[in-house]
Amino acid sequence: MTQKFQLPILLYDHECPLCVRFKQSLEMMDRYKKINYHSLHEKEIFNEFPFLSEKECSEVVHLILEDQSVLRGPEVLTYLIKQFPGVDRFSWLLETDKGKKVVDFFYQKMEELRHKTKSLHEECPRCPKN
């Protein structure tokens, strides 16, 4: 199989305003272009990586690493935090039980907000529909 997608890949929902903002914020911090960003609505992703579940990817953020292992949910946040200069010096905090609980809590609250925002966006008559 020839790989046409450069790894690592962060899959995000381009139809979700919160997800788009998250991606844009990461791109601004990612000055060395360590991460590649692709929408989970790109069907080619699931052809190229058949081990991914489209349904799972739409429910929880996924990051495909260079070795094709996959991080999900809070694991993605932990990985991303360790990748960016300035933040990486605090990454040791993520290895503690309390640090992991903070990341899990933050991720859960972001997921709740993402679902609420996406729902409001879908119901809004002024928002463009794809």
Tens-digit pLDDT profile for residues 51-83: 999 999 988 899 999 999 999 988 998 888 888
- Residue 4 inside a domain? The answer is no
- Residue 104 inside a domain? The answer is yes
Residue 122: pLDDT over 90: no
Residue 126: pLDDT over 60: no
Domain ranges, residue 117? 9-123
Which residues have CB under 8 Å from 36's CB, separation 6+? 5, 6, 7, 8, 9, 10
- Give how many domains the chain has, as a whole number: 1
Predicted TM-score (pTM) of this structure: 0.71
- Residue 59 inside a domain? The answer is yes
Cβ atoms of 114 and 18 within 8 Å: the answer is yes
Which is nearest to 107 in space by CA: 65, 57, 71, 60? 60
- Residue 130 inside a domain? The answer is no
- Residue 111 inside a domain? The answer is yes
- Residue 32 inside a domain? The answer is yes
- Residue 2 inside a domain? The answer is no
